[in-house]
Structure 1
Amino acid sequence: MSRLAGLVRGDRHRGAAAPAGFDRRLIAPLALGSVLNPINSSMIAVALVPIGLAFGAPPARTVWLVTALYLATAVGQPVVGRLVDMYGPRPLYLTGTALVGVAGLLGAFAPTLGALIGARVLLGFGTSAAYPAAMQLTRREAERTGQDSPAGVLTVLAVANQTVSVVGPALGGLLIGLGGWRAVFTVNVPLSAACLVLGFLRLPRDARPAGARRPVDLPGMALFAATLLSLMVFLMDPRPDRWYLPLLCAAAAGAFAARELRTAEPFIDLRVLGGNLPLLATYLRQLLAFTTSYAFLYGYTQWLEQGRGLGASTAGLVLLPLSASALAVSGLTGRREAVRAKLLVGAAVQIAACSALLLLGSGTPVWVLLAAGVVMGVPQGLLGLATQNALYRQADPARIASAAGLLRTFMYLGALSASAATAAFFPHRADTAGLRGLALFMLAGSALLLASVLPDRSLRTITPRKA
């Protein structure tokens, strides 16, 4: 018990008593660390054009600044999460946030676009530690206090991420106005420093978790990365001349499965994961939910500008109610887990929102467009919280960080699937016919999401455990 008490010291005084409840001093470093990824994902949106002008690069090349972060984070989250499970959250959190500062400096002085893309890759890996660390520390606090009620803490993380995603483009525009596009990278230096100070002072300096001295499954991680990268690169631009990428993905996946089933200490224990059908269902729901969410974000926004004829700034304002609705729903419902209810309501409202898109046209009044955003914000505020809480209950406690990282990977797969669908339905321009085709695609995904929830009896048993 003395070791568990030491997990939540918020200062470096050895005589400090551990709080009886969740140590709220942990929230600041965990929340700040977890927003490093969304703030870098969103700020870059307004920097692509000035970066392209600075390096004489077309959009087809500058888009890799977005893609590089997604690829690195999708691979890095479960890999770093596994290391968090093995070595504890503190060293990985501090290492990851330090990499963010280094990447910020590299971006600020990058002489070429290639170097800038390299800085984004480093950012992706650096920002991969905080969320798995937060999930493991939340689990440890529950074990220490015997009060297994993490919904409020997890809601803080979710709302912080949503808020930063909303204000990120505006912050990026402000930074570019003050110091040019390099300021978008430089801002990571003070953010990294703040995380390092808070992490050093407040994260527990505990011994390695039990079994941490087991070997790291580097071949398994490499095969997992090869599987994921080949799949994601194909999804980004699925063309016939890239036929070899699905084959490479299948070959790497087969080798990965064979490796993980044979090794004594696998990176991802496929035997345990394969027997945990509720967790597999949660990963599927994460994929379906975020495919629809990102398809709406990408497709609806383009249609507002090209199909409805709104200016870029006006289209951005039309999307504000979506963000406000998602934040309000998350804040109001976050303290109650209610996983099944959130999934059911979120999927049903998502179906309604996708159906409404079929009725939109070039002459649709602006107030109807605003209302569509409000409705779509409801599932965005419910579904992410529901899958996050479901994973917390369903995952093996000894592998909670790597399981949480894999949940984020399925979110990024949803984003890339949505991007590919948007390109398919808008081959030349974002017209109304393409929007309706995309709406049917989103409607099918939302129906599958609802169909995966209705018969799942395991969701009825997801409740906070009593001490």
Structure 2
Amino acid sequence: MAVGLGIMLNPLNSSMVSVAIARLQQAYRLDFTIVSWIIFSFYIASAIAQPVMGKASDLFGRRNIFLLGLIVAFAASMLAPLSPSFGWLIALRIVQSVGTSMMVAVGMALVRIHMTEKQAAALSILSIFLSGAAAVGPFVGGVLLYFWDWQAIFLVNIPFASASFLLAWRHIPKDRRATAAEGSMSVRRWFAMIDTPGILLFAAGMVALLVGLLSAKSSGHITIIHAMVGLSGFALLAFFVRHELRAASPFIPLRAFAKYPAMTWVNVEFLLVNFLFYSIFFGLPSYLQSVRQVNEFDTGMLMLSLGACSLVASPIAGRWIDRSGPRPALLLSAILMTFGSVWLMTLRPDSPVISVCIALAAFGVSNGLNSVGMQAALFASSPKSIIGVASGLFNTSRYLGTILSSLLIGIVMGGSFSFAGFRVLSIILAVTSLVLVGMSRRRREPGRLQETNSM
């Protein structure tokens, strides 16, 4: 319970905000592209913080990192509602992301280390905390916004963080004393170990590229400044790739992609899966509120069908994949995403709002299939000797897909969410999902992947 209440804060806060975009636009009188940074900032910070904090726990102790993460998340949640400007809100959102990422990075490890009995049951419960929080996040956010205001989506974290801290302080055993090697590691050596230059290049490149693209779309034309900022982002990311290929301890081990092509294709597929899912996850609430004038509570109720279908499909997918391997489940998932995207294309401004649930159900079931199927495909395509690296790259692909989905919505919609923009978004998603169907059909059987890994 101590760990579960802590790690749920990251997916809960990443999903609650999906129904708050329209309200934040009204509160700060900003266009959609600027407000979308409430999404970008959280995922960029999470993509960086989780692997970094995983390494930090080896030096400073997992219990210490977990407790510190709770303090940071608590402080950010307290201060965010007092933000005098949107810039301050983004800064505190980044702090909140770092704090919640600290708990996710070490939460599973704490259970594996300290629970010697019924460990599998404990890990499955933690998975329910993670997937359940993401599933009910839009519903919780919708209820909070309907009865209070956007500040409530931050304040709701306080009781969970407080309860987790008290339980963790009392029940999580203290870390063992550091060994001589660990104790002698200097801060400078640790910064080198986590690849600080790579982290800075990645963060600066992503931010500059997104600023350049979104600023050009928001203003309606491309200026020299927009072009320079965007090109500087590309240049920084190019330097990042060059640095990672040469680094002794790279932040993102890019050489693994070239060495294990089967694993690379799994990550590309996973990126596209998350790109499709989160385009719907973040796009539909804004469509319902801005275009169809659905209130926050009803929007949350409609989005709950997405999470409910995902939760129901996951255990069924697990049994199916155990018998047949990941290929059939992933192919069906891609087909369902194609159907959901095409269904959204057929909607008219006067279509019944409840008809949106058909698309949500299709994407929800596909997400349940993907949550198990993509993990199984990763294990089938990755040699056991690099499974830690493979898992890190897998999570990076998840965050990149999420960031790209937010970027697409921002570019397509511009200053305001419109039905015409939503139609364009649906067409792009339909084309992308057809690409995913083709990739799933060409997927090799798990047995052949294992033969490749053993060579």
Q: Given the two structures, how large is their TM-score scaled by the length of structure 2? A: 0.76
Q: Which moved more, 1:375-384 or 1:225-234?
A: 225-234
Matches within 5 A, 1:408-447: 408-426=395-413, 434-447=421-434
| 2:295 paired residue number | 312
Partner Cα distance (2:83, 2:424) in 1 = 41
SS in 2 for 1:446: helix
Unaligned runs of 5+ in 2: 451-455
| 2:51 paired residue number | 78
Per the TM alignment, residue 219 of structure 1 is displaced from its structure 2 partner at its CA by 1.9
Counterpart pick for 1:377 among 347, 364, 371: 364
| 1:104 paired residue number | 77
Partner Cα distance (1:300, 1:32) in 2 = 28
Whether 1:122 and 2:95 are equivalent positions in the alignment is yes
Q: State the identity as a percent.
A: 27
| 1:205 paired residue number | 175
Cα pair 2:143 2:300 within 8 Å, conserved = no
Report the residue type matching 1:230 in the other structure: A
Per the TM alignment, residue 445 of structure 1 is displaced from its structure 2 partner at its CA by 1.6
Unaligned runs of 5+ in 1: 1-27
Q: 1:352 to 1:80 in 2, by over 3 A?
A: same
Partner Cα distance (2:427, 2:43) in 1 = 26
Partner Cα distance (2:446, 2:210) in 1 = 30
Partner Cα distance (2:25, 2:360) in 1 = 31
Cα pair 1:232 1:413 within 8 Å, conserved = no
Cα pair 1:152 1:334 within 8 Å, conserved = no
Listed one character per residue, the Cα deviations across residues 122-161 of structure 1 (whole Å, up to 9, x for unaligned) are 101111123332454577699x899999984674244323
Matches within 5 A, 1:291-302: 291-302=275-286
Q: 1:148 to 1:274 in 2, by over 3 A?
A: farther
Whether 1:218 and 2:196 are equivalent positions in the alignment is yes
Whether 1:277 and 2:261 are equivalent positions in the alignment is yes
Partner Cα distance (1:89, 1:233) in 2 = 35
Partner Cα distance (2:61, 2:196) in 1 = 18
Partner Cα distance (1:48, 1:370) in 2 = 20
Counterpart pick for 1:190 among 150, 153, 159: 159
SS in 2 for 1:374: helix
Cα pair 2:108 2:123 within 8 Å, conserved = no
Cα pair 1:328 1:381 within 8 Å, conserved = yes
Report the residue type matching 2:295 in the other structure: A
Q: 1:382 to 1:392 in 2, by over 3 A?
A: same
Q: Which moved more, 1:45-54 or 1:29-38?
A: 45-54
Matches within 5 A, 1:234-383: 234=212, 236-237=214-215, 239=217, 240-241=222-223, 242-304=226-288, 309=292, 311-312=294-295, 314-334=298-318, 338-365=325-352, 368-383=355-370
Report the residue type matching 2:308 in the other structure: A
Report the residue type matching 1:131 in the other structure: V
Partner Cα distance (2:65, 2:384) in 1 = 18
| 1:173 paired residue number | 145
Listed one character per residue, the Cα deviations across residues 228-250 of structure 1 (whole Å, up to 9, x for unaligned) are 33344445455433223443233
Per the TM alignment, residue 383 of structure 1 is displaced from its structure 2 partner at its CA by 1.5
Partner Cα distance (1:230, 1:95) in 2 = 30
Cα pair 1:286 1:384 within 8 Å, conserved = no
SS in 2 for 1:205: coil
Per the TM alignment, residue 197 of structure 1 is displaced from its structure 2 partner at its CA by 3.2
More helix by share: 2
Partner Cα distance (2:343, 2:200) in 1 = 44
Partner Cα distance (2:228, 2:65) in 1 = 35
Listed one character per residue, the Cα deviations across residues 332-369 of structure 1 (whole Å, up to 9, x for unaligned) are 43566654343222112112222223333245445543
Q: 1:173 to 1:40 in 2, by over 3 A?
A: same
Per the TM alignment, residue 298 of structure 1 is displaced from its structure 2 partner at its CA by 3.9
Per the TM alignment, residue 86 of structure 1 is displaced from its structure 2 partner at its CA by 6.2
SS in 2 for 1:129: helix
Q: 1:162 to 1:48 in 2, by over 3 A?
A: closer
Listed one character per residue, the Cα deviations across residues 265-300 of structure 1 (whole Å, up to 9, x for unaligned) are 333333345323343333322221121112223444
| 2:105 paired residue number | 132
Report the residue type matching 2:73 in the other structure: V
Q: 1:92 to 1:397 in 2, by over 3 A?
A: farther
Q: Which moved more, 1:147-156 or 1:386-395?
A: 147-156
SS in 2 for 1:265: coil
| 2:453 paired residue number | none
Report the residue type matching 1:226 in the other structure: A
| 1:6 paired residue number | none
Whether 1:90 and 2:74 are equivalent positions in the alignment is no
Partner Cα distance (2:277, 2:440) in 1 = 18
Q: 1:391 to 1:94 in 2, by over 3 A?
A: farther
SS in 2 for 1:274: helix
Cα pair 1:78 1:403 within 8 Å, conserved = no
Report the residue type matching 1:312 in the other structure: N
Partner Cα distance (1:345, 1:113) in 2 = 41
Counterpart pick for 1:453 among 440, 443, 451: 440
Partner Cα distance (1:206, 1:33) in 2 = 22
Q: Given the two structures, how large is their TM-score scaled by the length of structure 1? A: 0.75
SS in 1 for 2:340: helix
Whether 1:68 and 2:68 are equivalent positions in the alignment is no
Per the TM alignment, residue 377 of structure 1 is displaced from its structure 2 partner at its CA by 1.5
Partner Cα distance (1:129, 1:210) in 2 = 25
Listed one character per residue, the Cα deviations across residues 279-323 of structure 1 (whole Å, up to 9, x for unaligned) are 33333222211211122234444555666x453355554444333
Cα pair 1:33 1:97 within 8 Å, conserved = yes
Q: 1:181 to 1:409 in 2, by over 3 A?
A: same
Cα pair 1:77 1:129 within 8 Å, conserved = yes
Per the TM alignment, residue 431 of structure 1 is displaced from its structure 2 partner at its CA by 5.9
